[in-house]
């Protein structure tokens, strides 16, 4: 046998061995899957083919990852830094075999983008959180798979052919071992404690089925603070291109949905729904559909502004809605509208005027509480009392706005209120004045409670211009003090309650 034929035979043997290894790995993924239906389907296929345990299926899969040497990969400074940083972190604080949360990152080509995402994870890491990292290489033709393969403790799933976001996420979720599954786009950069903030919020409240991050653009502007879905199934990225530090976008609140670019869900609930809906493959509206589905199970979907993720929008699927994967945005909107029409009928109409109400998704009455400053509960008895009253209001189902008369966000007290779900109106440099912030919320109010007599006169006069608000001066007033309902054109009711 001449050398050329020998080289060809060796190459063929190498290719077949790689194919066999891929198949064995895919089999292991399916065999470990917690999706019962998928396991049953796999067993049925094996039975039809007459296969026994341990026998590989005799098929050939296309190579999904370009053959790249380790030396060539590490010749790129950004790859060398990622591998060095990641593996040093993993050696000191290994990723967990019994994780609390599993992070699933789907990737198709754009290896440099994926490397940037993984580098941000390595730079922030998880000092106390037990985490599993799963990267799904969706049949990339570049060095994505080879690069990820150099990272210690990362679970790499390699698709034999391109399957898209929905199916890649479901494949990654199939081997997730965590109580929570966090889906993270590969075109993102995470900030410090991004995952800790998601997990801690869900751990504190068992009614939360999914929680999403604040998404910002690379220039620091806000991309999304939770999403709105209108009656016609059209979507609205709340806060898009606004200031990321605006108080409207910096408190925990219930939302219609959060983007799948950085979305964490309870694993058992995700699996109860069957994962992302396969009919929405390859992508778009699967995150919205999941959030709507979670509500049918009795869960809430919330936005956590303390979890900040930079999203390079359009890298994965482009921005042209008429071509490529992006075209499925319109296709899947139609499917989604047909599936959830009854629920959507209760949503706001698709008009910018309805955004303030739609974004807050409130089911109970709204109350504005005004005091001289945010309650510093560990400094004085009055503040401690007010802080507890605000929590009672939240527990009673009220949507609570809080306006400190000095318009100052005294920390850490303002942030604590925001973490509880209180919308605190306060000053930020270059932001809205108090009068403008108040004008926006007044039409949404059912009650206003002004806590101090000295604040009552001026604040009440301003509020009287808005119909149907009950105003009460609360602090230092006898328990039977009248609440004054303000009727249309500011006329005072003669009744007390």
Nearest to 355 by CA among 237, 442, 268, 260: 237
Q: Average pLDDT in the 182-195 region?
A: 97
Q: Which two tokens stand for residue 339?
A: 């599936």
Q: Average pLDDT in the 365-374 region?
A: 94
Q: Which helix (H) or strand (E) holds 133?
A: strand 131-137
State the pTM of this model: 0.81
| Least confident piece of the model among 22-26, 51-55, 467-471 | 51-55
Can you give the pLDDT at residue 494? 34
pLDDT tens digits for range 214-243: 999 999 999 999 999 999 999 999 999 999
- More confident site: 57 or 255: 255
32 pLDDT higher than 90 = no
204 pLDDT higher than 60 = yes
- More confident site: 458 or 218: 218
Q: Average pLDDT in the 195-200 region?
A: 98
- More confident site: 322 or 433: 433
* SS3 state at 487: coil
483 secondary structure, DSSP code: P
CB 276 within 8 A of CB 286: yes
Cβ-based burial of 4 (10 A; exposed 0-12, middle 13-18, buried ≥19) = exposed
Domain 70-358 has CATH 3.40.50.150: no
Q: Is the peptide bond before 282 cis (omega within 30 degrees of 0)?
A: yes
Average pLDDT, rounded, for the chain: 84
* Residue 350: band (very low, low, confident or very high) from pLDDT cuts 50, 70, 90: confident
- More confident site: 191 or 60: 191
How many C-beta atoms surround the C-beta of residue 34 within 10 A?
15
How many C-beta atoms surround the C-beta of residue 184 within 10 A?
27
d(C-alpha 419, C-alpha 242), whole Å: 21
pLDDT tens digits for range 461-489: 655 554 455 666 654 444 433 343 333 33
- Rg of the chain in Å (alpha carbons): 27
Query: Beta-strand (E) ranges in 267-395?
Result: 300-311, 366-371
- More confident site: 295 or 18: 295
CA 288 to chain centre: 11
Q: Which helix (H) or strand (E) holds 107?
A: strand 101-107
Written as one string, the DSSP assignment of 415-451 is HHHHHHT-EE----TTS--HHHHHHHHGGG-SEEEE-
299 pLDDT higher than 60 = yes
In this structure, are strands 300-311 and 423-424 parallel, antiparallel, or unpaired? Answer: unpaired
59 pLDDT higher than 50 = no
Can you give the pLDDT at residue 8? 72
68 pLDDT higher than 90 = no
Can you give the pLDDT at residue 326? 79
CATH superfamily of 362-490: NAD(P)-binding Rossmann-like Domain (3.40.50.720)
* Residue 391: band (very low, low, confident or very high) from pLDDT cuts 50, 70, 90: very high
d(C-alpha 325, C-alpha 452), whole Å: 57
Nearest to 357 by CA among 255, 222, 468: 255
């Amino acid at each position: 046998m001449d050398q050329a034929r020998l080289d060809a035979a060796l190459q063929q043997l190498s290719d077949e061995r790689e194919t066999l290894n891929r198949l064995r790995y895919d089999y292991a993924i399916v065999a470990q899957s917690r999706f019962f239906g998928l396991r049953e389907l796999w067993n049925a296929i094996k039975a039809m083919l007459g296969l026994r345990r341990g026998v590989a299926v005799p098929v050939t899969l296309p190579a999904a990852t370009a053959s790249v040497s380790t030396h060539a990969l590490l010749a790129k400074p950004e790859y060398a830094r990622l591998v060095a940083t990641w593996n040093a972190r993993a050696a000191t604080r290994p990723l967990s075999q019994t994780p609390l949360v599993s992070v699933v990152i789907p990737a198709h080509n754009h290896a440099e983008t994926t490397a940037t995402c993984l580098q941000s994870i390595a730079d922030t890491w998880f000092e106390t959180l037990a985490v599993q990292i799963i990267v799904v290489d969706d049949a990339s033709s570049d060095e994505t798979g080879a690069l990820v393969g150099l990272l210690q403790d990362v679970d790499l799933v390699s698709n034999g052919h391109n399957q898209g976001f929905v199916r890649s996420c479901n494949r990654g979720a199939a081997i997730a071992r965590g109580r929570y599954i966090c889906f993270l786009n590969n075109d993102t950069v995470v900030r410090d404690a991004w995952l800790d903030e998601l997990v801690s919020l869900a751990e504190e409240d068992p009614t939360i089925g999914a929680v999403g991050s604040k998404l910002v653009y690379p220039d620091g502007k806000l991309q999304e603070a939770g999403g709105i879905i209108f009656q016609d199934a059209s979507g609205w990225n709340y806060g898009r291109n606004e200031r990321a530090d605006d108080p409207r976008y910096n408190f925990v609140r219930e939302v219609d949905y959060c983007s799948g670019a950085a979305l964490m869900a309870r694993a058992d609930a995700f699996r109860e729904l069957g994962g992302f809906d396969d009919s929405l493959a390859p992508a778009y509206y699967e995150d919205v559909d999941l959030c709507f589905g979670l509500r049918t199970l009795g869960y809430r979907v919330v936005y956590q502004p303390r979890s900040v993720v930079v999203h390079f929008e359009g890298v994965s699927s482009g921005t042209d809605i008429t071509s490529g994967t992006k075209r499925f945005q319109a296709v899947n909107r139609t499917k989604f509208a047909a599936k959830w029409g009854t629920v959507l009928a209760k949503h706001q109409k698709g008009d910018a005027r309805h955004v303030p109400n739609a974004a807050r998704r409130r089911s109970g009455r709204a109350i504005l509480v005004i005091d001289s400053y945010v309650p510093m509960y560990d400094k004085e008895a009055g503040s401690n009392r007010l802080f507890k009253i605000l929590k009672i209001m939240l527990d009673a189902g009220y949507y609570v706005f809080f306006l400190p008369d000095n318009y100052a966000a005294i920390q850490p007290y303002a942030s604590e209120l925001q973490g509880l779900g209180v919308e605190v109106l306060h000053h930020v440099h270059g932001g809205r004045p108090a009068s403008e912030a108040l004008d926006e919320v007044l039409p949404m109010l059912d009650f206003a409670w002004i806590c101090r007599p000295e604040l009552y006169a001026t604040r009440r006069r301003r509020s009287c211009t808005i119909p149907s608000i009950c105003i009460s001066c609360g602090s230092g007033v006898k328990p039977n003090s009248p609440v004054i309902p303000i009727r249309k054109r500011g006329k005072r009711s003669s009744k007390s309650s």
